[in-house]
Amino acid sequence: MANEEKEKLKKKRISEYNRIFKELSQEKKKLIKKSIEQAVHMEMQLDDLQIELEKVGFVEEYCNGNNQFGKKESTESKAYNTLMKNYISIIKVLLGELPQSKNEDDDEEFKKFLMDRVKR
């Protein structure tokens, strides 16, 4: 994906998050702004890593200096798993900022948004 396309997608995703959190006070919006941007950035990195994983797989062969061969988890797999854990953490933080008084419909909208993200 070209950089211009990525930037458009990034802006679109940020506006989707902002729409979900539109009911928050301006102070809270300022506080979570960076978390939203980071979550979107992580989503894009996860997409890139997923494409790379499809090419190289989750396991790679290695050879150390003593001519010992074996298999280990691929570098891409480790990076993907670590990034996914961090992404899940930031999403939990953002979910915690949703107002408790919001209708369940709004919560469902965010859950649908996340599920659409996972299905890609």
**pLDDT (tens digit per residue) in 33-62:** 999 999 999 999 999 999 999 999 999 888
SS3 for 97? Answer: coil
Number of domains the chain contains: 1
At 120, is the pLDDT very low, low, confident or very high (cuts 50, 70, 90)? Answer: low
89: pLDDT strictly greater than 90 = yes
CA distances from 21 to 9, 54, 95, 96, 102 (A): 19, 34, 10, 11, 10
Average pLDDT, the chain: 88
What is the residue range of 112's domain? Answer: 3-119
Are residues 27 and 113 in contact, defined by beta-carbon separation less than 8 angstroms? no
Dihedrals phi, psi of 69, to nearest 5 degrees: -115, 155
